[in-house]
């Protein structure tokens, strides 16, 4: 069955019940939760298969747990989200009432990336189902094992609500051209531009969750020893393949080498066996593996110092595992500074003042996340006011994404729009304005004859200005005189 046929059928299904009630939506979410828990063992095995090495513990913590939390949070608050909101009515329009009703958009498309293929499929799906929509999901071609489990999971839990699509890049391109009522894409900025162009042909609104180079600014008031573990965790989770992973580290000038030593020491504590640890995640495929190798080689050739936190990189490792690589002195025009790294590589740069550090970040495309390590309230305030980022996390990394009651999304090149929690419900809903009147209506005083007899006189007093015939164009005054003469 073609994409277009599947799309048309699901849209037809939506119009059979265009506004599912609270009980229906909750039932769908509960079914999804139940099936996710029932099939988690298959998901853990599939993730290990697709990545080459990825522990069940990592998949549960980073993908299954936040998916369950998202469902539970929505179940607890969905009734309040769906309730129409009363709005103010100006005295000019009394007696009347105003409210905003949240109506499902209809058929939502979700394009899922390979780095968190479970959570980045189920997270948006939960939001779209909570809002009462039908959903089509295009899964990544780089995670075929996970796709098979997700397909079974979603078909069992949501047979009438969601449809899973697989295929290569050509299928993804065709998918983005379908006339969805909303399209959510998670992936690179470069591909996001193509998705937005394709959606624009149908005036389809889009939410783009992209990425970019998320900076870590380490303030001069703290000791790295106290916070190094948080930076390492954020950088090394999922093998560094996280859209909000720290992409570079700014430390006070002259402390770059010392920072590298501290990070290396703490890396050994967190991963005593380094990349051999069962908690280490492989680079997803050979293409990404080669890209990381080329970035390191280019930086080294340009004079950068590469500090490996473990053994030397084995370029022939069949599981594509790489210990954290710290890069000092890399020229700012090399790939590690120009492109999102998306792997266990962390450039370190020395700043001479916090003002210079802020300007360094401002000079680059706006990131998906900004991390500040400092207890200096004044510096915290300056950074929050002067740095544009999708989200800010102070004295930690990554964990802001797991906050159910905070929106998640980028700004500028790092994304457009947001979801998670209530923001996800709002993203996939149409906020429909409803103005209601009964038998009585003050609107009759705006009709031309009554307006001249009464409303204009009231407005003359209100505005402090009386409209006369001289305020009308000559032809209007002439027509008025003709009508009055008749």
Q: Torsion angle of alpha carbons 148, 151, 153, 158, nearest 10°? A: 180
Q: What is the mean pLDDT of residues 439-468?
A: 79
Q: What is the pLDDT of residues 412-436, one digit of tens each?
A: 999 999 999 999 999 999 999 999 9
- At residue 396, the pLDDT reads 97
For residue 480, pLDDT over 60 is answered with no
Residues 6+ apart with CB under 8 A from 129: 25, 28, 29, 32, 135, 158, 161, 162
What percentage of residues in the chain have a pLDDT greater than 90?
86
Q: What is the mean pLDDT of residues 292-301?
A: 96
Q: Which of 58, 161, 236, 243 is catalytic?
A: 243
Backbone φ and ψ for 436, nearest 5 degrees, come out as: -125, 135
Neighbours of 166 (CB within 10 A): 17
For residue 25, pLDDT over 60 is answered with yes
- At residue 482, the pLDDT reads 59
Q: What is the mean pLDDT of residues 182-205?
A: 95
Q: What is the pLDDT of residues 222-264, one digit of tens each?
A: 999 999 999 999 999 999 999 999 999 999 999 999 999 999 9
For residue 338, pLDDT over 90 is answered with yes
Residues 6+ apart with CB under 8 A from 474: none
Distance in angstroms (rounded) separating the CA atoms of residues 45 and 66:
18
Q: Which of 300-314, 372-386, 457-471 has the lowest mean pLDDT?
A: 457-471
Cα–Cα distance list, 62 to 124, 199, 278 (Å): 15, 30, 15
Q: What's the token pair of residue 194?
A: 């193509």
Chain mean position to CA 149: 24
For residue 217, pLDDT over 70 is answered with yes
* CA-based nearest residue to 391, from 400, 399, 382: 400
Q: What is the mean pLDDT of residues 65-76?
A: 97
Q: Which of 29-33, 180-184, 215-219, 468-472 has the lowest mean pLDDT?
A: 468-472
**Is 261 annotated in the active site?**
no
Q: What is the mean pLDDT of residues 376-398?
A: 97
Are 221 and 431 within 8 A, CB to CB?
Answer: no
Confidence at 16, pLDDT banded by 50, 70, 90: very high
Q: What is the pLDDT of residues 127-165, one digit of tens each?
A: 999 999 999 999 999 999 999 999 999 999 999 999 999
Strands (E) across 92-149 are located at: 97-104, 107-111, 134-138
Distance in angstroms (rounded) separating the CA atoms of residues 348 and 251:
7
* CA-based nearest residue to 245, from 257, 260, 233, 263: 233
Cα–Cα distance list, 86 to 80, 323, 434, 480 (Å): 13, 55, 10, 42
Q: What is the mean pLDDT of residues 382-404?
A: 95
Q: What is the mean pLDDT of residues 82-87?
A: 95
Q: What is the pLDDT of residues 348-380, one digit of tens each?
A: 999 999 999 999 999 999 999 999 999 999 999
Q: What is the mean pLDDT of residues 84-93?
A: 90
Q: What is the mean pLDDT of residues 71-100?
A: 94
Are 198 and 36 within 8 A, CB to CB?
Answer: no
- At residue 473, the pLDDT reads 64
H-helix or E-strand spanning residue 305: strand 305-308
Give the relative orientation of helices 228-236 and 256-270 as an angle to the nearest 10 degrees: 70
Residue of 466 and 476 predicted with greater confidence: 466
* CA-based nearest residue to 162, from 131, 128, 124, 136: 136
Residue 273 C-beta-side C-alpha neighbours within 13 Å: 7
Task: Supply the pTM of this predicted model.
Answer: 0.91
Q: Which of 52-61, 85-94, 155-164 has the lowest mean pLDDT?
A: 85-94
Q: Which of 58, 63, 161, 209 is catalytic?
A: 209
Q: What's the token pair of residue 291?
A: 């890209």
**Is 63 annotated in the active site?**
no
Give the mean pLDDT of the chain: 93
For residue 86, pLDDT over 60 is answered with yes
- At residue 476, the pLDDT reads 52
- At residue 479, the pLDDT reads 53
For residue 481, pLDDT over 60 is answered with no
Q: What is the mean pLDDT of residues 319-330?
A: 96
Residue of 17 and 471 predicted with greater confidence: 17
For residue 7, pLDDT over 70 is answered with yes
- At residue 151, the pLDDT reads 97
Q: What is the mean pLDDT of residues 213-230?
A: 95
- At residue 435, the pLDDT reads 92
* 137 bridge partner residues: 110, 164
* 183 bridge partner residues: 109, 206
């Amino acid at each position: 069955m073609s994409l277009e046929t599947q799309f048309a059928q699901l849209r037809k299904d939506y119009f059979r019940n265009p506004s599912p009630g609270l009980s229906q939506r909750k039932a769908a979410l509960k079914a999804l939760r139940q099936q996710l828990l029932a099939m988690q063992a298959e998901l853990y095995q599939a993730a290990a298969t697709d990545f080459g090495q990825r522990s069940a513990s990592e998949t549960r913590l980073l993908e299954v747990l936040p998916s369950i939390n998202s469902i539970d949070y929505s179940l607890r608050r969905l009734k309040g989200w769906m309730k129409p909101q009363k709005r103010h009515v100006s005295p000019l329009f009394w007696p009347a009432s105003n409210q905003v009703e949240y109506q499902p958009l209809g058929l939502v498309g979700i394009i899922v990336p390979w780095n968190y293929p479970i959570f980045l499929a189920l997270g948006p799906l939960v939001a779209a189902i909570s809002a009462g929509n039908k959903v089509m999901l295009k899964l990544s071609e780089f995670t075929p094992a996970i796709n098979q489990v997700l397909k079974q999971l979603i078909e069992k839990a949501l047979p009438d609500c969601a449809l899973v699509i697989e295929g290569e890049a050509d299928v993804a391109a065709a998918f983005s051209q379908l006339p969805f009522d909303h399209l959510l894409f998670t992936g690179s900025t470069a591909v996001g531009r193509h998705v937005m162009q394709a959606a624009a042909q149908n005036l389809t609104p889009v939410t783009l969750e992209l990425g970019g180079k998320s900076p870590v600014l380490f303030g001069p008031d703290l000791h790295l020893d106290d916070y190094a573990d948080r930076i390492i965790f954020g950088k090394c989770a999922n093998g560094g393949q996280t859209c909000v992973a720290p992409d570079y580290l700014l430390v006070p000038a002259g402390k770059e080498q010392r920072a590298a030593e501290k990070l290396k020491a703490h890396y050994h504590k967190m991963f005593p066996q380094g990349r051999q640890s069962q908690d280490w995640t492989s680079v997803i495929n050979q293409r990404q593996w080669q890209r990381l190798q080329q970035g390191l080689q280019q930086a080294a050739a340009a004079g950068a110092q590469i500090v490996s936190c473990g053994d030397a990189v084995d370029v022939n490792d069949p599981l594509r595992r790489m210990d954290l690589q710290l890069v000092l002195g890399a020229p700012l025009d090399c790939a590690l500074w120009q492109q999102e790294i998306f792997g266990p590589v962390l450039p370190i740069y020395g700043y001479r003042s916090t003002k210079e550090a802020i300007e360094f970040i401002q000079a680059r495309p706006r990131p998906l996340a900004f991390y500040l390590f400092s207890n200096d309230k004044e510096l915290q305030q300056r950074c929050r006011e002067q740095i544009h980022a999708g989200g800010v996390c102070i004295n930690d990394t990554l964990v802001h994404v797991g906050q159910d009651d905070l929106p998640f999304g980028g700004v500028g090149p790092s994304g457009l729009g947001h979801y998670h929690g209530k923001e996800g419900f709002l993203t996939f809903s149409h906020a429909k304005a409803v103005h209601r009147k009964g038998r009585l209506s003050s609107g009759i005083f705006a009709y031309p004859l009554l307006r001249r007899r009464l409303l204009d006189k009231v407005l003359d007093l209100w505005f402090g200005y009386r409209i006369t015939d001289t305020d009308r164009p000559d032809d209007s005054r002439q027509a008025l005189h003709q009508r009055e003469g008749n």
